[in-house]
Amino acid sequence: MSTPVNSSAPHVEEPVVGSSAIIAWLYVGLPLAWGVSQTFIKALALFK
C-alpha cells in the first residue's frame, strides 16, 4: 500500500526579508541590546 501524493497541496515559500524588515529589527534590537548590557554592567557593580 503506497501513500498517495497530493499534488494540489500548496507550496509554502520562505518569505523574502526586505531591507525594511532589517532596519526595523536594528531599530528595536540595538537599543535593546544596549539596555541589557548596561543593566548587566550595573548589576555586576553591585557585587564588588
pLDDT tens per residue across span 22-43:
999 999 999 999 999 999 999 9
All cell numbers assigned to 20: 525594511
pLDDT at 47 over 80: yes
Q: What is the pLDDT of residue 9?
A: 62
Q: Which residue has the cell 548590557?
A: 37
Distance between CA atoms of residues 24 and 4, nearest Å: 43
Distance between CA atoms of residues 12 and 2, nearest Å: 24
